[in-house]
Chains A and B, each alone.
Chain A
């Protein structure tokens, strides 16, 4: 039954690609989110403006449009870069933007903006007195971030992170549009070849449903573990 007329293994392999893209994009998004939140909260007007522009513009444009822009635009940019390298230094290279890299970069870049907002809110939720206490202990800024801000901030950020992850997981389906061999593309090709849309799209639908359900369960566990409203629960 799982064979799906020979296409089963291809779709399963594609589902691994989906998971890979999602996890790599998540790492990039978390990194960009921390940077973006720090930039938005900084007192330096330039980094504040850059952070605000990043989160506003990215969250105002559809993911698909950004993905097409980075995928097709990035290729042209790389082409002119290699032309320039050849003209200037006679270095003969060709850099190919493959769909996997473009997909991970774009999704990570987009969700970095959403993560920035989540982290910003979470940083603001940590009481100011906590930082002052750290300063009073003579900690430097990095120690305050590592020992005080980050652990407390993560508890507030957790629900938002879980939400962003779920949206991101579903967004990975779009990488099939720019030609990546994920499970959506595999199903699309199989259903076109055999004229059997239900046979291939329903399993993919169920795999996505399983992935989101598992993630939701996992994040619920994490949230109870880290107890955002520990005080409310003990009252």
Chain B
């Protein structure tokens, strides 16, 4: 099976073993970028989302400003600002982060983290604010502290409510990660651009990569559908 595949690939001008490996490496970079930025972004967004619901303007206004700027401007500009701007800051060249900036991966990761954290913060804020008043009153009646009711009552349900919007954000992030190829990163799109320029074959190079993205998108949708099904079990009609 593998042998026939290799002979077929060797006869193919563009999709030979070498280019497929190239796409494979690109896939790894894309998955790493997307997974890390979503994970770190979520860790940042949960506390920010909670604080964003605070009534104290000194707490919620700065977070509002952060999400307003990052949601109101293109990710490409944010990436440019970080990729070109960070090294231009005074003192950065002598500090420990300089070796990290030499690799485009880390500035891109930072831009993606800040971007997804902004969107996720607003998703979490929305979900928390939609908590039915009765649930909060019940928690208070039980004598729960703010933190306890947050942990046991408000957050678990807020996460459930946030899930559909968050799955959109995950897909958005996967698609946005293609922008990394603009700053020399060889992710999936970067690999396709390289193959395009090497063979001057735009249809083959970009259609192939589009299909990989399509598969990734469907996988994400499937995982979130399963997750929603599981987490919303108590809301399903009996017997379904």
- Which residues of chain B from 166 to 197 have any CB-CB distance to chain A below 8 Å in the complex? 174-179, 181-182, 189, 192-193, 196
Q: In the complex, A195→B189 CA distance in Å?
A: 27
Q: In the complex, A61→B208 CA distance in Å?
A: 11
Which of A36-44, A62-70, A129-137, A225-233 faces chain B?
Answer: A62-70
Q: In the complex, A64→B203 CA distance in Å?
A: 14
A65 touches B76 (CB 8 A): no
- CB closest chain-B residue, reference A63: B175
- Mark each residue of chain A from 63 to 91: 1 if its CB lies under 8 Å from any CB of chain B, else 0: 11110110011011000000000000000
B74 touches A65 (CB 8 A): no
A68 touches B192 (CB 8 A): yes
A197 touches B88 (CB 8 A): yes
Q: In the complex, A202→B207 CA distance in Å?
A: 35
What is the interface residue range for chain B against chain A? 35 or more
A65 touches B206 (CB 8 A): yes
Residue tally, chain A, CB below 8 Å to B: 38
Q: How far is the CB of A195 from chain B (nearest CB, A)?
A: 7
* Residues on the B chain within 8 Å of A170, using CB: 73-75
A65 touches B189 (CB 8 A): yes
Does A60 count as interface, using CB distance less than 8 angstroms?
yes
Q: In the complex, A95→B156 CA distance in Å?
A: 58
Q: How far is the CB of A169 from chain B (nearest CB, A)?
A: 8
> Given A65-B189, A177-B182, A197-B85, A72–B74 Cβ distance below 8 Å?
no
Q: In the complex, A68→B207 CA distance in Å?
A: 10
A201 touches B81 (CB 8 A): yes
B178 touches A198 (CB 8 A): no
> Given A57-B214, A63-B175, A68–B72 Cβ distance below 8 Å?
no
Which of A120-128, A153-161, A206-214 faces chain B?
Answer: A206-214
> Given A61-B175, A65-B210, A176–B81 Cβ distance below 8 Å?
no
- Which residues of chain B from 72 to 94 have any CB-CB distance to chain A below 8 Å in the complex? 72-78, 80-81, 84-85, 88
Taking Cβ atoms with an 8 Å cutoff, the residues of B that contact A are 68-69, 72-78, 80-81, 84-85, 88, 174-179, 181-182, 189, 192-193, 196, 200, 202-203, 206-207, 209-210, 213-214, 217-218
The 9 A-B pairs of least Cβ separation, nearest first, read A72-B202, A173-B74, A197-B84, A62-B178, A69-B206, A62-B175, A60-B217, A170-B74, A73-B202
12 more CB-based (< 8 A) A-B contacts, given A57-B214, A63-B175, A197-B85: A62-B178, A65-B192, A68-B196, A68-B202, A69-B203, A197-B81, A198-B81, A205-B69, A205-B77, A208-B77, A212-B72, A212-B73
